[in-house]
Amino acid sequence: MTKNLYLWVIPLLPLVGAAINGLFGRRFKNAMVSAVALLFTAVSFGWAAWAVYSVWPGGATAHIETLPFPWITAGSFSAPFGFYLDQLSMIMVLVVTGVGFLIHIYSVGYMSHEGGYYRFFAYLNLFMFFMLTLVLANNYLLMFVGWEGVGLASYLLIGFYFLKDSAANAGKKAFIVNRIGDFAFLIGMFLLIQHFGSLNYDTVFGKIAEAHFSPEVGWGFFTITALCLMFGATGKSAQVPLYVWLPDAMEGPTPVSALIHAATMVTAGIYMIARSHAIFNLAPHALEIVAIIGCLTAIFAATMGLAQTDIKRVLAYSTVSQLGYMFLACGVAAYAAGIFHLMTHAFFKALLFLGAGSVIHAVGGEQDMRRMGGLRTKIPVTFWVVTIATIAIAGIPPFAGFFSKDQILGAVFHSPYGGPVIWAVGVITAGLTSFYMFRLWFMTFFGEYKPDADLGDAHLAPTAHAASAHGADAHGSGHDDGHGHGGVHESPWVMLAPLVILAVLSVAGGWVGIPEFIGGNNKIEHFLAPVMESPAVAGEQPAPAMKVLDPISRPEEKPTNEELLLAGTSVAAAIFGFFFAWLLYYKKPELPDRITSKIHGIYTMVLHKYYVDEGYGAIFVKPLLALSTVVFWRGVDQGVIDGLVNGAGATSKGIGNELRRMQSGNIRSYAAWVAIGGAAVLAYMIWLGVK
Amino acid sequence: MVPLSWYLILSAVLFCLGVFGFLLKRNIITIFMSIELMLNAVNLSFVAFANYWNTHLDKLPSGAQMVPLSGHVFVFFVMVVAAAEAAVGLAIIISVFRTRETLNVDRVNLLKL
C-alpha cells in the first residue's frame, strides 16, 4: 500500500471556499471574500503540488485512492469515490490549480468594481471543485459529475451579468449545446458498462489490455464507444459541430473567459480523449474522425477569427482553433503532444485573455479593437506580456507555443490518420493564427488611440448587422462592467503580477518538450509515456496503411532534416502571418478596406461566421421550437395533461352547478322535494305491494 | 259502518290538499292552515285505524296485542303539539307582519342565501 495522499482534499478545499462565500459572502467585505477564495485555492494548489511531489515521477501504474465508503452500488456495478493520480492527471491538476490560482488573484483586481463580488468568487471556487473532480476521478461516472459541474459553473459565470439578455442567452446556449454532447458521453458510458461492467479506469483499461484486442477494422464496439465519447468531447471542447457556444460565452467576465473558456474547462474534452486513449487506439475510424474534426475546427475557427473586431471574440475563435489542434493531436494518437499543447495553451491563452481584460480595463470597458490603438506606451506592462503571449501562440521559437504546435504538426505528418494534407491545413492554420493574433496586437497597441472611432463606415456596414447579436451588446457589456473610470491607465499590480508569472510560463513552459532533433530530450513525452502508450501495437494488424510509429522512437528512425524542415515550415507560416498583419494593419492601414471591398462576398461570409449560427437556427432551433410549441406545449401539455386536469375540474364543477339548483334556499322548494321524495317512496311501496 | 278505506281516502285527500296548499300558496296564514290540514289528515287516519283494530281484534296478526286507546293518545299528542305550534307560529306571523307589512312568504326571504 502506497502512502495515503488524501487526494480528496484537493477538490474539497475550493468547495469549502465556495460554500463559505456562497452562503455568508453577502455579509463579508470584499477583502474577506477574496481572502477566503484565494486561501482555499492556494491551499488546494499547495496540496496538489505536494501530492505530485510525493509520487513523482510516477510509475507505470497510477496512484489510486478510494474513499472507504461506496458511492453508487447497483447489482454488480459500483462506482466509488475514487481518485486517480497518474502523469496525465498530475499535469492537469497542476495546470488547473496553478492557472486557476493566478486567475483568482487577477480577479481580485478586475472584479473590484463589480456588484456580486462574493457571488463571482463563490462560482469560481465551485468551478475549481468540479474541474478538480473531473481530472482526479478514477472512474467515468465521477468524471461525469465534474463534467456536468463545470458546465453548471460555466453557465452561472457566463450569465454572471444576468440582467443583460445577451449574457443570459449565452449562458443558456452554452448549457444546451453542451447537453447535446453530454448525451453522447452518457451513451458511451452505458456501452462501457454493458461490455466491462464497470466504469473504473483501471478495470476498463486493464480488461482491454488483458484481452489484447486488435484494432477494429470496421465499425465495432470500440469505434462506436469512441465516437460517443468523442462527440461528448466536441461539446465540452467546442469542436465542430458544437463549437458555437464558446464565442458567445465571452459575455462572461474576462477572468472567466480566461479560466473556463480558455485554460481549463474546454480542455476537459481533450483530457477525456487522452484518458480514454486505450479505447481510441482500438478504433482507427474514430481516430480518423477525431483528426478530421480537429483539423476542420482549427481552420474554420481560425478563418472566422480573421474578421472579428471584438478583442475577446478574436481570442475565443483562437481558442476554438487551438482546441482543434489538440483534437487533431489526439486524432493522430499523439496524445502526449495534445496534452503538451493543452498545457502551453493554458499558459499563453490565459495570459492573452487576462491581458485583453487588462486592456479593456484600461480603455474603460471598450471591447472593439477599432476603438483602441496606440496603447503600447500607455499600458507598457500589459503590452509586453501580451506581446510574449502573441509570439507564443503564433508559434515562434523559443516560446512555448512553438514546441507544442510543432510536436503536433510533426506527429500529424507522420501519422496514418493525418498525412501531408491535414498537415498542410495545420500549417495554414498556424499562419492564420499568427496573422489574426498580430492583427489584434497591431490594432490594439499600435497606431493612434481613437476611442471615438466611427464604426459605421461603408465597408463595415455589415459588421453592425453581424455584430448586432453580440458586438453591439458586447459594447454594452463593457460599460456595464463598470470599468468606465478615468482615462487610459495601467492596471493595478494585483492584476499585473499574474500576467507576469503567466508570461514567464508562456516563454519557458515549452522547454519541457524541446524535441530531440534540436538538442532537447522531449521530457514531457517521456514523462507521459507510461500512461500514453501510443497504438504501436496497431502495427501488427494487416493493413499496412494503419502502421503507426511509436512517437518516442520516431526521432531516431527519421532523418532529423525532415523534422527541421517541418518545424521550419510552420515557423515560416507564422512569420508570413506576422508579415501580412504588419503590412495590413501597421504599414498600410487603408489596405484592409480595399481588400475587403474587393472580396466582399467572402468577407461578408467570414464576418458572419459562415452563417453557422443562422444555419443551426434554421435547421435545428426553429423546427425544434415549432415542434415543442405546437406538439409538446399546445398539444401534449396544454391539450392532454392540462386537458385531463382541467377536464376533471370542469366536470365536477358542472355537476355541482347543476346540483346547486336543489339548494335554492327557497323553503317551499325543499318542501316540494320532500313531498316528491315521499311520493316516490310511497309509489315504490305500493309497487312492491302490488308485486 | 263506514269501511276503513273511505276514512283513509279522505285522509289522503285532505293530506294532499294540505301539501299542495303548502307548496302553492304565498300567504303565510294559508300555509299555516295547510300545515294544520296535513296534521289533521294524519289524525284522521290514526283514529280510523284505532277504531278499526278495536272492532276487528280477530284480524290482528298472531302475537300482536292491541293496546286500548293507543291511536287516540297519538292524536291528542299531535293536537297538543299543533296547538303549541300555532301559538308560536302565529306570534311569529304577527311579528313578521309588523316589521314587513306583508304576509307574502316570497318577500320574507332575507335569510335565504
Q: How far is B26 from chain A (nearest CA, A)?
A: 10
Question: What's residue A559's pLDDT?
Answer: 56
Measured between beta carbons, the chain B residues lying within 8 angstroms of A665 are: 109, 111-113
The verdict on A672 touching B (C-beta cutoff 8 Å) is yes
A266 pLDDT tier (thresholds 50, 70, 90): very high
The neighbouring-strand residues paired with A72 are: A79
All three cell numbers of A90: 498530475
Pick the CATH number of B4-107 from 3.40.50.300, 1.10.287.3510, 1.20.1740.10, 1.10.10.10: 1.10.287.3510
Question: What's residue A548's pLDDT?
Answer: 42
The neighbouring-strand residues paired with A530 are: none
Q: Which long-range contacts (CB under 8 A, 24 or more apart) does A467-471 make?
A: A467/A309, A467/A310, A469/A166, A469/A613, A470/A166, A470/A247, A470/A248, A470/A250, A470/A251, A470/A310, A470/A313, A471/A309, A471/A310, A471/A313, A471/A368
d(CA A305, CA A318): 6
Exposure of A346 in the CB half-sphere (CA atoms within 13 A): 29
Number of CB atoms found within 10 A of residue A525's CB: 25
In Å, how far are A69, A503, A509, A679 from A499, measured between CA atoms?
42, 6, 14, 100
- Spatial CB neighbours of A374, under 8 Å, sequence gap ≥ 6: A445, A446, A447, A448, A449
pLDDT per residue over A480-490, tens digit each?
Answer: 444 444 578 88
How many percent of chain A have pLDDT more than 70? 91
In A454-599, alpha helices (H): 461-466, 471-480, 493-508, 523-528, 554-557, 560-582, 591-598
Nearest Cα to Cα of residue A153 among A128, A183, A136 = A128
All three cell numbers of B26: 304565498
Question: What's residue A477's pLDDT?
Answer: 41
Number of CB atoms found within 10 A of residue B42's CB: 16
Amino acid identity of A405? Answer: K
∠ CA A285-A286-A292, nearest 5°, is 90
Cis peptide before A623 (omega within 30 of 0): no
Contact between residue A21 and residue A122 where contact means Cβ atoms under 8 Å apart: yes
Nearest Cα to Cα of residue A609 among A311, A243, A176 = A243
Question: What is the C-alpha radius of gyration for chain B, rounded to an integer number of angstroms?
Answer: 19
Domain boundaries, chain B: 4-107
Cis peptide before A589 (omega within 30 of 0): no
Contact B109 A665 (CB under 8 A): yes
Interface of A with B in 547-606 (CB under 8 A): none
Assess whether pLDDT exceeds 50 at residue A423. Answer: yes
Contact between residue A81 and residue A8 where contact means Cβ atoms under 8 Å apart: yes
A114 pLDDT tier (thresholds 50, 70, 90): confident
All three cell numbers of A101: 490560482
Assess whether pLDDT exceeds 90 at residue B107. Answer: no
Assess whether pLDDT exceeds 70 at residue B26. Answer: yes
All three cell numbers of B107: 318577500
**A671 → closest Cβ in B22, B111, B113:** B22
Exposure of A284 in the CB half-sphere (CA atoms within 13 A): 22
Most A-contacting residue of B11, B16, B23, B27 (CB-CB within 10 A), to test interface: B23
All three cell numbers of A2: 502506497
Tell me what the mean pLDDT of segment A510-539 comes to: 71
The verdict on A660 touching B (C-beta cutoff 8 Å) is no
**B23 → closest Cβ in A663, A665, A672:** A672
Contact B105 A668 (CB under 8 A): yes
3-state helix, strand, coil in chain B (%, to 5): 75, 0, 20
Contact B105 A665 (CB under 8 A): no
Chain A residue with CA closest to B107: the answer is A666
Assess whether pLDDT exceeds 50 at residue A536. Answer: no
Question: What's residue B69's pLDDT?
Answer: 81
Question: What's residue A539's pLDDT?
Answer: 37
Chain A residue with CA closest to B16: the answer is A675
The verdict on A661 touching B (C-beta cutoff 8 Å) is no
∠ CA A232-A237-A238, nearest 5°, is 100
Size of chain B in residues: 113
Q: How far is B113 from chain A (nearest CA, A)?
A: 6
The verdict on B113 touching A (C-beta cutoff 8 Å) is yes
Question: What's residue B113's pLDDT?
Answer: 53
Residue A75 φ/ψ region, left for φ over 0, alpha for ψ in the -120 to 50 degree band, beta for the rest: left
A460 pLDDT tier (thresholds 50, 70, 90): very low
Tell me what the mean pLDDT of segment A520-527 comes to: 78
All three cell numbers of A83: 481518485
pLDDT per residue over A541-558, tens digit each?
Answer: 333 333 344 444 444 445
Question: What's residue A467's pLDDT?
Answer: 37
Q: Residue with C-alpha cell 463598470?
A: A482
A237 pLDDT tier (thresholds 50, 70, 90): very high
Question: What's residue B5's pLDDT?
Answer: 92
Contact A675 B23 (CB under 8 A): yes
**A668 → closest Cβ in B23, B111, B113:** B23
Assess whether pLDDT exceeds 50 at residue A496. Answer: yes
Give pTM, 2 decimals.
0.77
SS3 assignment, position A82: strand
A325 pLDDT tier (thresholds 50, 70, 90): very high
Nearest Cα to Cα of residue A341 among A413, A257, A407 = A407
Tell me what the mean pLDDT of segment A253-274 comes to: 92
**Dihedral, B36, B38, B40, B46 alpha carbons, nearest 10:** -150
| Helices and strands (DSSP H and E) totals, chain A | 30, 2
- Residue A470 or A241, more confident: A241
Measured between beta carbons, the chain A residues lying within 8 angstroms of B22 are: 668, 671
pLDDT per residue over A161-178, tens digit each?
Answer: 988 999 999 999 999 999
∠ CA A316-A318-A319, nearest 5°, is 65
Phi, psi for A550 (deg, rounded to 5): -65, 120
d(CA B64, CA B44): 23
Contact B22 A665 (CB under 8 A): no
d(CA A604, CA A624): 28
Nearest Cα to Cα of residue A335 among A478, A524, A521 = A524
Tell me the torsion sign for CA atoms A476, A480, A484, A488: negative
DSSP states of A163-216 as a string? TSHHHHHHHHHHHHHHHHHHHHHHHHHHHHHHHHS--BHHHHHHHHHHHTPPPP
- H-helix or E-strand containing A84? strand A77-85
The verdict on A72 touching B (C-beta cutoff 8 Å) is no
Tell me what the mean pLDDT of segment A362-370 comes to: 86
The neighbouring-strand residues paired with A78 are: A73
Tell me what the mean pLDDT of segment B14-30 comes to: 92
Question: What's residue A353's pLDDT?
Answer: 93
Contact between residue A455 and residue A370 where contact means Cβ atoms under 8 Å apart: yes
Question: What's residue A4's pLDDT?
Answer: 82
- Spatial CB neighbours of A68, under 8 Å, sequence gap ≥ 6: none
A45 pLDDT tier (thresholds 50, 70, 90): very high
Question: What's residue A486's pLDDT?
Answer: 55
Exposure of A206 in the CB half-sphere (CA atoms within 13 A): 11
In Å, how far are A114, A468, A679 from A486, measured between CA atoms?
16, 28, 97
Exposure of A216 in the CB half-sphere (CA atoms within 13 A): 21
pLDDT per residue over A296-305, tens digit each?
Answer: 999 999 999 8
pLDDT per residue over B51-84, tens digit each?
Answer: 888 888 888 888 888 787 888 899 999 999 999 9
d(CA A240, CA A235): 9
The mean pLDDT of chain A is 85
The verdict on B23 touching A (C-beta cutoff 8 Å) is yes
User: How far is it between the farthest Cα atoms of chain B?
Assistant: 59
Question: What is the C-alpha radius of gyration for chain A, rounded to an integer number of angstroms?
Answer: 30
Q: Residue with C-alpha cell 276514512?
A: B7
- Residue A609 or A123, more confident: A123
- What is the crossing angle of helices A420-445 and A400-414, to 10°? 160
**Can you tell me the ipTM of this complex?**
0.80
Contact between residue A99 and residue A16 where contact means Cβ atoms under 8 Å apart: no
pLDDT per residue over A575-632, tens digit each?
Answer: 988 988 888 888 888 888 888 888 878 888 888 888 888 888 888 889 999 998 999 8
Secondary structure letter of residue B1 according to DSSP: -
∠ CA B26-B30-B35, nearest 5°, is 110
∠ CA A243-A245-A250, nearest 5°, is 120
Cis peptide before A451 (omega within 30 of 0): no
Contact A675 B109 (CB under 8 A): no
